[in-house]
Structure 1
């Protein structure tokens, strides 16, 4: 009869708890939890046995009690593992603003966040910060998938320790269970190609500018350039010889102006696509060429880009809504841990185009 006698003696009107399910199935509480949340690491026969007992006993999770318990014990601890914020205009500062807004709204429900900053050029620093998180009592981590090997290790260890992982900003193929809140970088590059082609046309040249730290280009910038080039390959392949790439380490405006000079000709239109949030740096360098016919597209509403957009020095900004990304990450983790809502595998951020004329409406939005 196996488990049947135990089940027959249970009160069918009284839902069983996880401990009772584990006892009847002769498994650990952790195994029951993995089955309830559809996680890996449970044999098919064991999973079937646990699910059968759950159905027979009428188990349901008491959401209200769970929420009160989490809040009273302050168990909802979320680690934020993001790149170092070295400048006030930093894109990651905007992400952090959204994270802090969500954390403030959920504070009374037991949610706290802790920040761990890493050097994007040092995988060892990322791994070191992750180990600190892993050995502490965090239920979730919000991070970015820039460093593929280090992130793959994080996913493997997070699965073992039942830590939910949410990635911001960028998506890349990874082994393991991952949730992404990001804009499609490839499609954003294609949109930038369409925008600049509409202004520059057939007679001009085109330039992709990747502003780098330590000569390394991030995966999202690579994807954007691939999308930009694909637009011309499909729609104006004869212009590909006139499409160039400039990989330039971050430096002063004067040095950047020097490397831009060969591409800037007064008699020839030039469309420049900056693959990051630093379009304002290129705009500053272009002030050395006041008579050029140059059109500039980049990403994100930091204060420097906003100022350049108002002056007409930047023509298009592709908005990634970084505050909304950070806010959504914390909210989705809370809903998953407390309300048992299945986390979205992907949250797509729309590709919104901002120009000088519609800028005021974005500045006054909650998520500008």
Structure 2
């Protein structure tokens, strides 16, 4: 992205002269003004963003609150990379981005970091409202302090967020139901894996399961859905034992639905002879999940574009703060179906 100093250097004038042209303050010869405008047009220079930022005479401060990622939970790496890219770009127009993260399995961690954000007094906040009940309480503090906020990835209802950017969780679950039904036999059973104790408090997962269940209800299907609660995904041996017992006790199971980004954790511990008889469907094109897709342990992944979502969110928030541009209430990203054949073309991390 070109800056005022870059334009001044190319036009062989001072930055102040470029600023005069941008603000139409006069005092610049017509020849020089024409030269500067030509350079601005050539580089598609964003006049409004720069001009408004200079006029405000302040730095725009955006806070970001999203989950940590680790070797086992890699989904949030892509949004973080998108945020970092946007951070480098928007700092050239006087905007700064502060990053706060929390343990996605620890509500206390989320609340603690949320309060740190509020104490920092940002001009706006981009957050993933992973814990619904806590978010609704803390969002009231944002409202009282007139801090605008945008939801990323999770479309939590009942708050005064400016916008939501991400996938339609309900429809992605509904689509997963359709894919599953096309892949299994009549009167068979599907194991719906629930890995969070308080499902209602985790809005995206809840919506994915609701959409999945509603597909079968809408079609008055003969397939049975079995809700299976899994407390620990980190102990592979214990998970393998639980899944083996589940399949022995429920021989009609032909499908396994994992409504989060950890389908690989299930696929990698199911007996190799048994997994060929099952249809596994999960979410997100993480490296681990795509590997299982390519090795035919997973049939389908419902994916999105988390890098692009986070990147665009920061840019849109800067537009809102600097240019007072109105944000759409909901900005949905495409619902991608990944298979072994097309996984290499996914934009999950791009």
| Secondary structure at the counterpart of residue 337 of structure 1 | helix
- How far apart are the structure 1 equivalents of 2:193 and 2:156? 22
- How far apart are the structure 2 equivalents of 1:183 and 1:98? 16
1:256 aligns with 2:239: yes
Aligned partner of 1:278 in structure 2 is 262
Matched pairs, number: 299
Closer/same/farther in 2, CA of residues 88 and 335 from structure 1, 3 Å limit: farther
- How far apart are the structure 1 equivalents of 2:348 and 2:251? 42
Deviations 1:304-347 (A, max 9, x none): 01111111111101112111221121011011011211122111
Q: Is the contact made by 1:89 and 1:302 (CA closer than 8 Å) also made in structure 2? A: no
- How far apart are the structure 2 equivalents of 1:216 and 1:269? 25
Aligned partner of 1:24 in structure 2 is none
| Secondary structure at the counterpart of residue 195 of structure 2 | strand
Closer/same/farther in 2, CA of residues 155 and 178 from structure 1, 3 Å limit: farther
Bigger Cα displacement from structure 2, 305-314 vs 262-271 = 262-271
Q: How far apart are 1:255 and its partner, in Å? A: 1.5
- How far apart are the structure 2 equivalents of 1:97 and 1:287? 35
TM-score by length of 1: 0.74
* Moved segments of 4+, more than 6 Å: none
TM-score by length of 2: 0.78
- How far apart are the structure 1 equivalents of 2:93 and 2:272? 54
Bigger Cα displacement from structure 2, 341-350 vs 272-281 = 341-350
- How far apart are the structure 2 equivalents of 1:88 and 1:109? 37
Which runs of no fewer than 5 residues in structure 2 stay unpaired?
1-47
Deviations 1:229-260 (A, max 9, x none): 11111214332xx2101120223222112222
Q: Is the contact made by 1:83 and 1:119 (CA closer than 8 Å) also made in structure 2? A: yes
- How far apart are the structure 2 equivalents of 1:198 and 1:182? 26
Q: How far apart are 1:268 and its partner, in Å? A: 5.1
Q: How far apart are 1:63 and its partner, in Å? A: 6.0
Deviations 1:16-44 (A, max 9, x none): xxxxxxxxxxxxxxxxxxxxxxxxxxxxx
Aligned partner of 2:312 in structure 1 is 328
Which runs of no fewer than 5 residues in structure 1 stay unpaired?
1-61
Q: Is the contact made by 1:188 and 1:227 (CA closer than 8 Å) also made in structure 2? A: yes
Aligned partner of 2:341 in structure 1 is 357
Aligned partner of 2:212 in structure 1 is 228
Q: Is the contact made by 2:162 and 2:327 (CA closer than 8 Å) also made in structure 1? A: no
